[in-house]
Structure 1
Amino acid sequence: MSYLTATQVKALLDGIDTTTWTGRRDQAMFTLAAHTGLRVSELISLTVDSVHLGTAAHVACTGKGRKHRATPLTTATAALLKTYLHERHTHPGHALFPNPRGEPLSVDAIGQRLRTHVRRAARACPELAGTHVTVHTLRHTAAMRFLAAGIDTAVIALWLGHESTATTSIYLHADMDIKRRALERTRQPDVVAGDYTPPDSLLAWLQGL
């Protein structure tokens, strides 16, 4: 299973050329993906009104099986999205991450943009050179960050929209509260993503997310 270290994620996101609108869009999109673990299909389906900023900032999406879930945003991610949305001057219902024609980006387009940014980031972070990075890699990266912070696998599954029936029944009403506590755990200064190596059984489980 592939995932990025904290250093690699920083190199990827910091290396995006934000002097262009597409660069600023991509930075917002891939920051959101790396910090929330959204699937590529979920990124594509997001609209402007999927983002809820201010108190209890979160993004609402529809995942596999038409399941709806809300994922909390870090302060930094919320601020980045706020700046991005302010620049766009769009309306509810518009694609959050559109192409220049205003249409939702395709899976292929997102993949191509990500590959471009990985190649650029490899200049500052040589270990990224030749690395195959997809949105699913960023999803695994988010899961690994939670594992490294000691978050229970049931909560990680809930966060990523891959919960079992048992997990759903246990956490249904406390969903957002649980996710926010998990997010706080990842902010501990002694937690360094990429330094934690989970057992093979956990790696196999993560591979299926």
Structure 2
Amino acid sequence: MEFTGHRQHRDATAPRGDRVSELTALACGDAELGAGAHLRCTGKGRKQRCTPLTKPTARLLQRWVTDRRATPGDPLFPNRAGGRLSRDAVADLLAKYLPSAAKSCPTLAAKNVTPHTLRHTAAMALLHAGVDTATIALWLGHASTKATDVYLHADMALKERALARTAPRPARATRYRPPDALLSFLESL
């Protein structure tokens, strides 16, 4: 989720699912904010990948980069001194804005929300949107779908929908009326 100050904008929040280390390593030059907006990041094992951005998110980032007069080599998400954010700084920012988010989603107040929780949340949002696990694995930078399968096991709603599709449909009790052709065949035997 992306927090834009005082409230969360649902239409501007594409589930990203990046690792904290990937987000903090992003430079402004890693953001393609025109047509086909996306972020290029380097993940575990130095694997390169691109993840798409929604149009509202791309516009927000474009304003952010422009207002800062940032160069392509500048951190996309800088600290106060203009350097890269640390993992602890990201966790502190999340803790700072969590009470505000809990006002519109009270269940957050009782949860332990970490930056990695947001990664899992992104994966579950993709799964609920009907995205297959192979695509989610690519999106998250997993080496295989095995790491993504855990989301299938964690999603009770998905399990319930699958079970509902396999439940036998109630049959109407009616008397079988064989067609005339079948009756004629049986009588000829």
* Length-normalised TM-score, structure 2: 0.70
Question: Per-residue displacement from partner, 1:133-170 (whole Å, max 9, x unpaired)?
Answer: 112111111111111122111111011110329xxxxx
The one-letter code matched in structure 1 to 2:77 is F
The residue aligned with 2:165 is none
Within-5 A mapping of 1:1-209: 13=3, 16-17=5-6, 35-164=15-144, 197-199=157-159
In 2, are the aligned partners of 1:45 and 1:95 still within 8 Å (CA)? yes
Deviation beyond 6 Å, 4+ runs, structure 1 = none
Q: How far apart in 2 are the matches of 1:160 and 1:141?
A: 12
Distance 1:152 1:86, change over 3 A: same
In 2, are the aligned partners of 1:61 and 1:69 still within 8 Å (CA)? yes
In 2, are the aligned partners of 1:60 and 1:68 still within 8 Å (CA)? yes
Q: How many percent identity over aligned positions? A: 51
The one-letter code matched in structure 2 to 1:42 is E
Q: How far apart in 1 are the matches of 2:140 and 2:39?
A: 13
Cα RMSD between the aligned structures? 2.7
The answer to which structure, 1 or 2, has the higher relative contact order (CA under 8 A, 6+ apart) is 1
In 2, are the aligned partners of 1:40 and 1:136 still within 8 Å (CA)? yes
The one-letter code matched in structure 2 to 1:13 is F
- In our comparison, the structure showing a higher alpha carbon Rg is 2
In 2, are the aligned partners of 1:154 and 1:163 still within 8 Å (CA)? no
Distance 1:147 1:124, change over 3 A: closer
* Length-normalised TM-score, structure 1: 0.64
> Secondary structure of the residue that 2:40 maps to in structure 1?
strand
Structure 1: runs of 5 or more not aligned:
1-8, 19-26, 166-194, 200-209
